[in-house]
Structure 1
């Protein structure tokens, strides 16, 4: 009985190495890249929808103060410039195919990873600063029309939302995306190695 227990313990400690073919790994990696492309496209669509909504607000509502117009222009410029950066990054991961040019594709993913890091660090702070200025200029006209409680609520919600997006949300998204792209690069490099040196 003791020999059986030792055999069972040895069996449980034994790790089985699962071999995945290059084709299976390629299909899985391509699926993840397609998910990345879809997320990128949805970000662009969301930014364009925001741009159109704010532009429509500016066109169809009458604002008396010049500060509100300045605030809205700041919003539109910030959203448009961020959309252009997002579109550039989307084209970067969409333009090349791993099966046609493996090295170019892996290089594109590495550049995309660096661009995303830059976006979540430098560009994000410029975007947040621009939005904050936009809110300040817009609030100059809007806040006097609100009650004292409504003013505190509007300013408080705006500040809490900006701080939440700038700290917790930004770090979580940046960490998850950095890990996801790093894993993709590693998978494609492994696939490339398996293709170039077949067993």
Structure 2
């Protein structure tokens, strides 16, 4: 019984977290959401331009081998799948108004966090594989008359770049974005806890 009383006294002595200002939290969350939304929108614009360029290359360039067309179609398929996921993420983060229903907005932020984890997790490797295959098939014909040293240098550079993106940049990007989203979720949950 003595231990229980000691636990209660320690628990009661814990400093209470200061109350959050609703206006400050809403401003922080809106600023964070606008930043996340603009990054996703930039990604949508960038991949859309790339899709248009690749589609134009597929439609208007003349290749001798079917393998080049297959490579371009694989690239297009991967980019379109990525675009669809990006649009879904953008809609998830921007469809709710924070001031109308904070609880629903908190749920949409959690959904966004799960979708981004999927996009940067499992789908990234499928996208990287499609990109590698597409570029490999496409460049077979494009580099047909190039010297062997050029081909080897190009493929080594591509492999190093993909490995760098996969094992260094991707992880840093994911950690930074997850930290921002987690911070926004934590602020909203803490604010919600004040009113319960």
Residue of structure 1 equivalent to 2:5: none
Query: Deviation of residue 18 (structure 1)?
Result: 8.1
Residue of structure 1 equivalent to 2:105: 105
Structure-1 separation of matches of 2:114 and 2:130? 23
Runs of 4+ in 1 over 6 A off after TM superposition: none
Tell me, yes or no, if structure 1 residue 88 matches structure 2 residue 97: no
Structure-2 separation of matches of 1:193 and 1:34? 24
> Which consecutive unaligned segments of at least 5 residues does structure 2 have?
1-16
Residue of structure 2 equivalent to 1:51: 51
Q: Please say which of residues 21-30 and 72-81 is displaced more in the overlay.
A: 21-30
Secondary structure (helix, strand or coil) at the match of 2:96 reads: coil
Residue of structure 1 equivalent to 2:135: 135
Query: Deviation of residue 49 (structure 1)?
Result: 0.8
Residue of structure 2 equivalent to 1:27: 27
Give the number of aligned pairs.
180
Residue of structure 2 equivalent to 1:173: 173
CA-atom RMSD in angstroms: 1.6
TM-score (norm 1): 0.85
> Which consecutive unaligned segments of at least 5 residues does structure 1 have?
1-16
Residue of structure 2 equivalent to 1:123: 123
Structure-1 separation of matches of 2:78 and 2:145? 26
TM-score (norm 2): 0.86
Contact 2:93 2:109 in 1 (8 A): yes
Contact 2:75 2:130 in 1 (8 A): yes
